[in-house]
Amino acid sequence: MELTISTPALLFPAITLLLLAYTNRFLAVATLIRDLHAKYQANPSHSIIFGQIKNLRSRLTMIRYMQAFGVLSFVFTVICMFLLFQEFTTWANIVFGLSLGALLLSLIISLIEIQISTKALSLELSDMEK
């Protein structure tokens, strides 16, 4: 397959939308943390809070890595386009592969973060069932 400059350009809207979704996740987690902080201030002995804190810390870490690999994928895509423009096709193919790899890692971490977030909802449900 011959890589043209339009091929990596196809990733631009996908990566941009993905980063927007990751930012929305981050904002949602930030809101949860602020709400949890208010609950903790009101009742420091509430046991569910400690499980949520651990869960939110791991989710924040995951979101950080999701965003980092998404941005890295974006950077590799731009570099790939530059290399294609300079007609360094071998290097462009390698960098495009790195871009796809970073995007794949970002998506895998996103899937893991979704699993963690469902555990957080389970904690909330278990608290209400008691």
Question: The pTM is what?
Answer: 0.81
Euclidean distance between CA atoms 27 and 46, whole angstroms: 24
pLDDT the model gives residue 46: 64
pLDDT the model gives residue 127: 66
Q: Which segments of the chain are extended strands (E)? A: none
* Blockwise average pLDDT, block size 10, the chain, 130 residues: 83 88 90 82 71 84 94 95 94 96 96 86 71
pLDDT the model gives residue 71: 95
Tokens of 107: 């998506």
Alpha-carbon dihedral 47, 51, 54, 59, rounded to 10 degrees: -140
